[in-house]
Structure 1
Amino acid sequence: MPALFTRLSRRRELLRIPAHLLQEAVAEGWSKWPLETGGILLGKPGPDGHVVTDLIGPGPEGRHERYGFTPDSDWQAEQVAARWATDSNLHYLGDWHTHPGGSTRLSRLDRSTARDIAAYEEARQPNPFMLVLALGRDQTVRVGAARLINDRLRRVVVHPH
């Protein structure tokens, strides 16, 4: 029995995201290339992982830079409130962003952002997900994600469906 427990405890967590939402994020990323963009992930916990049900972009006043972006926080808050008004079971799961010409590896700033989210009481998310879309110069897209657990970002499996 101990070997089975060890195997199960090492299993990576699953983040499910509908293909159309993933494509929406990718399209937003290419529209800002070679600058970064991103937004918010909303969803629900499921029996075999969390499910992203909604994606919110950077907003009209978002600022996009080569190695970072600043969202239009007021606009995002309005969007989240509107979605919660129609589905109070939604959870803020974390953030998504792009790495133009980069990798899915999370940067020091990404790690700091995850910790800030976890510490921000209004987010009600002590273990946020960070979804990264690496947009390659050769038009490739790689997807990676991690979740902050015990103050460490741990890789999760992203499953488009």
Structure 2
Amino acid sequence: MQFLNSWATNDKRTLLHFSMSTLEIFCQHVQASDADCEAGGLLLGSVHGSHMLVEQATVPTAWDKRFRYLFERMPFGHEAIALSRWTTSQGTIRYLGEWHTHPEDHPHPSGLDRSEWNRLSAKRRDKRPMLAVIVGRKSLYVELAPSSGCGSVLTPVE
């Protein structure tokens, strides 16, 4: 399994780069077998104008709710890591968004995913769209989700 680490909006005005460690986390949680439950976490990184560098993905905790077709992230654990990274980086490493898996080759967001992304995006202090990533068995779905409606879908850049 090899996911590409550079992504962009169609107009190339927004570029996104996943660190190798972030892509490794995604690969470790792909729902390859019928018994695998969904997984997910936070995406942490830095913002450079309209561009983003995703440096870290948190992994599921013991408190998270994991089922075959549902992942519900609980705040414990994830928020402590995010706050710690924010503090030690003096505010350069911040919350960028969320990731979770789907048991499909080429994932697409469900209605529940969309409503959750809109809710989380509306809570952002910096008013930026939330980065939403769905990890499928063969590809990623990457979107900058605003507080209402559909956002900008990003595609891999070779």
> Structure 1 length normalisation: TM-score?
0.77
Deviation at 1:103, TM superposition (A): 2.8
The Cα of 1:66 is off from its aligned counterpart by 1.8
Structure with greater strand share of residues: 1
2:153 counterpart residue number:
155
* Deviations 1:40-72, CA, capped at 9 Å, x for gaps: 001112367211011112212211112211123
In structure 1, the partner of 2:23 is 22
Residue in structure 2 matched with residue 138 of structure 1 by the alignment:
none
Report the alpha carbon displacement of residue 158 of structure 1 after superposing the two structures with TM.
Answer: 4.5
Distance 2:106 2:139 in 1: 8
What secondary structure, in the 3-state scheme, does the structure 2 residue paired with 1:64 have?
A: strand
**CA positional deviation for 1:10:** 5.1
What is the Cα deviation at residue 102 of structure 1?
4.7
Please give the secondary structure, in 2, of the residue aligned with 1:16: strand
Runs of 4+ in 1 over 6 A off after TM superposition: none
**SS at 1:45 equivalent:** strand
1:72 is paired with a residue whose SS is coil
How many residues are aligned here?
146
- Greater per-residue helix proportion: 1
2:122 alignment counterpart: 119
- Relative to structure 1, is the Cα distance of residues 128 and 31 closer, same or farther in structure 2, using a 3 angstrom cutoff? same
What is the deviation of 1:125? 4.8
State the TM-score, normalized to the length of structure 2. Answer: 0.78
CA pair 44-59 structure 1, distance change in 2 beyond 3 A? same
Letter in 2 for 1:101: E
Q: Is the 8 A contact 2:31 2:136 kept in 1?
A: no
1:106 and 1:86 mapped to 2: Cα distance? 33
Paired residue type of 2:42: I
In structure 2, how many angstroms separate the alpha carbons of the residues matched to 1:62 and 1:149? 25
Name the residue aligned to 1:81.
Answer: 83
Contact 2:37 2:66 in 1 (8 A): yes
The Cα offsets for residues 15-60 of structure 1, whole Å up to 9 and x where unpaired, read as 2101231112220335995321111001112367211011112212
> Is contact 2:117–2:147 with CA below 8 Å preserved after alignment?
no
Q: 1:73 to 1:79 in 2, by over 3 A?
A: same
Structure number, greater radius of gyration: 1
Partner in structure 1 of residue 43 of structure 2:
41
User: What SS is found at the alignment partner of 2:108?
Assistant: coil
